[in-house]
């Protein structure tokens, strides 16, 4: 089942949703040619099916950066979903990608060295680094004529279910979304508002499915977090992501000793050097390509977290099927998945990623296995 078929069966898709012209969301593209390599970037405005509200704000659209890396007659694709919390924008991502041109002129088969050079090119801009890493590895897979899951030695039959995320809204709206997401075994609910208990009680009126909660740092002190987490434990909630600000590590250590369900780090974790300190305050970590800088760093995070006996979740931002396909490639290595960013938009610029119930099917096509739907892209 592809994303269009999913929405048809769930009954949530307005007929106009797939009449969106992909070109209407495109900004002018920029191309940099450096010898053997041509790098094209384009800001693309993803249009959300409904307003997306977290504890820190509301969005109707998200501006991502698409990357096409052309070399030796093949094109590798990447996507950056800039995170404003970390001082990223589509423009800053695009500028970083252009700056990386000379690095991409070097031998792409030495992709680990290229990633290190990209990582040290400038601090931050991790989503831009993820886009470049994605494009390089997509190019490598296409050059070898194999899908990336085979390149990484991953068993595609061990993919795990993804949750379906529901953002903060009026309770009847959230109830309706929960009922429509009937193909998903587990729901992920955004909290961090004054109505958190009301939201969960309302959802429990319409579904008894397991729930995972993401607070996005919305609870400001440990007493509130403890009260809420132990209350949620009685409501069939499996775990809670990032209940307090990421800087409150001592409070997380205190909290971990007292809660009845696990706490998962999200905003607290970016790179491998972050992980050892988090083991005392969290039961697991949420790895996102856009936070860590790509597939290669994600694999390193997996290894470090496993060594520390932490649970592993793979997550996403609001992304197209391109970036979701990259994250889905690693899905069999994780305990939990939240890879639904492309299901929340109605103008996906890539196609080819298919859903079987609530599991992504890993494509046998070379590289990431998806194709652009934007003309001449």
pLDDT digits (tens, 9 = 90+) for 229-247: 999 999 999 999 999 999 9
Q: What is the mean pLDDT of residues 339-368?
A: 97
Domain enclosing residue 126, as ranges: 21-148
Q: Can you state the angle between helices 321-330 and 295-307, rounded to 10 degrees? A: 30
Asked if the structure places residue 13 within a domain, the reply is no
Which residue, 104, 121, 148, sits at the end of a domain? Answer: 148
Residue 215 and residue 98 share a domain: no
CATH of the domain at 281: 3.20.20.120
CA distance 320 to 43: 13
Asked if the structure places residue 6 within a domain, the reply is no
Which residue, 148, 178, 213, sits at the end of a domain? Answer: 148
The whole-number pLDDT of residue 55 equals 87
Element (H, E) at 237: strand 237-241
Q: What percent of the chain has pLDDT over 70?
A: 93
Asked if the structure places residue 14 within a domain, the reply is no
Q: Are 286 and 265 in contact (CB under 8 A)?
A: yes
Q: Are 83 and 290 in contact (CB under 8 A)?
A: yes
Residue 297 and residue 165 share a domain: yes
Using pLDDT thresholds of 50, 70 and 90, give the confidence band for residue 2. Answer: low
Residue 135 and residue 166 share a domain: no
Task: Spell out the alpha helix ranges (H) of the chain.
Answer: 3-10, 90-99, 101-104, 111-119, 126-144, 148-151, 171-180, 196-204, 222-233, 249-256, 275-278, 289-292, 295-307, 321-330
Task: Tell me the pLDDT of the chain averaged across its residues.
Answer: 93
Asked if the structure places residue 331 within a domain, the reply is yes
Q: How far is CA 9 from the centre of its chain?
A: 24
Which residue, 148, 165, 187, sits at the end of a domain? Answer: 148
Q: Are 112 and 300 in contact (CB under 8 A)?
A: no
Q: What is the pTM of this model?
A: 0.92
Token pair listed for 369: 């296995």
Query: Which residues in 325-348 are b (16+ Cβ under 10 Å) and which e?
Result: bbbbbbbbbbebbbbbbbbbbbbb
Stronger pLDDT, 29 or 66, i.e. the higher one: 66
Stronger pLDDT, 7 or 107, i.e. the higher one: 107
Residue 158 and residue 51 share a domain: no
Q: What is the mean pLDDT of residues 37-53?
A: 95
Residues 6+ apart with CB under 8 A from 271: 292, 293, 297, 301
pLDDT over 70 at 21, yes or no: no
Q: What is the pLDDT of residues 154-206, one digit of tens each?
A: 999 999 999 999 999 999 999 999 999 999 999 999 999 999 999 999 999 99
pLDDT over 70 at 24, yes or no: no
The whole-number pLDDT of residue 12 equals 44
The whole-number pLDDT of residue 152 equals 98
Residue 355 and residue 260 share a domain: yes
Residue 189 and residue 105 share a domain: no
Asked if the structure places residue 5 within a domain, the reply is no
Asked if the structure places residue 354 within a domain, the reply is yes
Token pair listed for 272: 């491998």
Total number of domains constituting the chain: 2
The whole-number pLDDT of residue 6 equals 52
Q: What percent of the chain has pLDDT over 90?
A: 88
Q: What is the pLDDT of residues 48-75, one digit of tens each?
A: 999 999 988 899 999 999 999 999 999 9
Q: Are 125 and 93 in contact (CB under 8 A)?
A: yes
Residue 303 and residue 208 share a domain: yes
Q: Phi first, then psi: give them for residue 213, nearest 5 degrees.
A: -115, 140
Residue 178 and residue 122 share a domain: no
Asked if the structure places residue 11 within a domain, the reply is no
pLDDT over 70 at 13, yes or no: no
Residue 60 and residue 80 share a domain: yes
Asked if the structure places residue 73 within a domain, the reply is yes
pLDDT over 60 at 10, yes or no: no
Residue 191 and residue 143 share a domain: no
Residue 204 and residue 129 share a domain: no
Residue 170 and residue 223 share a domain: yes
List the one residue out of 93, 121, 110, 145 whose CA is nearest residue 296: 110
């Amino acid at each position: 089942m592809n994303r269009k078929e999913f929405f048809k069966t769930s009954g949530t898709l307005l007929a106009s949703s797939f009449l969106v012209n992909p070109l209407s969301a495109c900004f002018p593209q920029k191309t940099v040619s450096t010898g053997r390599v041509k790098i094209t970037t384009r800001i693309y405005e993803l249009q959300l099916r409904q307003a997306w509200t977290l504890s820190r704000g509301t969005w109707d659209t998200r501006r991502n950066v698409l990357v096409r890396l052309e070399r030796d007659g093949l094109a590798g694709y990447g996507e950056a979903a800039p995170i404003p919390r970390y001082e990223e924008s589509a423009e800053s991502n695009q500028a970083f990608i252009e700056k990386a041109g000379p690095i991409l002129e070097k031998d792409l088969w030495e992709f680990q060295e290229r990633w290190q050079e990209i990582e040290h090119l400038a601090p931050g801009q991790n989503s831009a680094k993820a886009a470049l890493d994605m494009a390089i590895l997509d190019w490598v897979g296409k050059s070898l004529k194999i899908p990336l899951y085979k390149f990484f030695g991953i068993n595609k039959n061990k993919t795990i279910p993804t949750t379906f995320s529901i953002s903060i809204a009026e309770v009847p709206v959230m109830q309706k979304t929960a009922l429509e997401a009937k193909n998903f075994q587990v729901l992920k609910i955004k909290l961090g508002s004054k109505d958190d208990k009301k939201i969960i009680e309302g959802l429990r009126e319409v579904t008894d499915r397991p729930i995972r909660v993401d607070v996005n740092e919305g609870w400001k002190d440990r007493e509130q977090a403890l009260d809420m987490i132990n209350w949620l434990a009685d409501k069939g909630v499996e775990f809670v992501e990032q209940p307090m600000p990421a800087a409150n590590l001592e409070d997380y250590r205190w909290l971990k000793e007292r809660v009845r369900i696990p706490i998962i780090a999200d905003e607290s974790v970016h790179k491998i050097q972050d992980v050892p300190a988090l083991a005392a305050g969290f039961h697991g970590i949420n790895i996102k390509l856009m936070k860590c800088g790509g597939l290669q760093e994600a694999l390193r995070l997996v290894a470090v977290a496993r060594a520390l006996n932490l649970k592993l979740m793979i997550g996403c931002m609001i992304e197209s099927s391109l970036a979701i396909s990259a994250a889905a490639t690693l899905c069999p290595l994780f305990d939990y998945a939240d890879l639904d960013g492309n299901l929340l938009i109605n103008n996906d610029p890539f196609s080819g990623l298919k859903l079987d119930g609530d599991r992504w099917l890993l494509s046998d096509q070379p590289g990431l296995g998806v194709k652009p739907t934007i003309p001449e892209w």
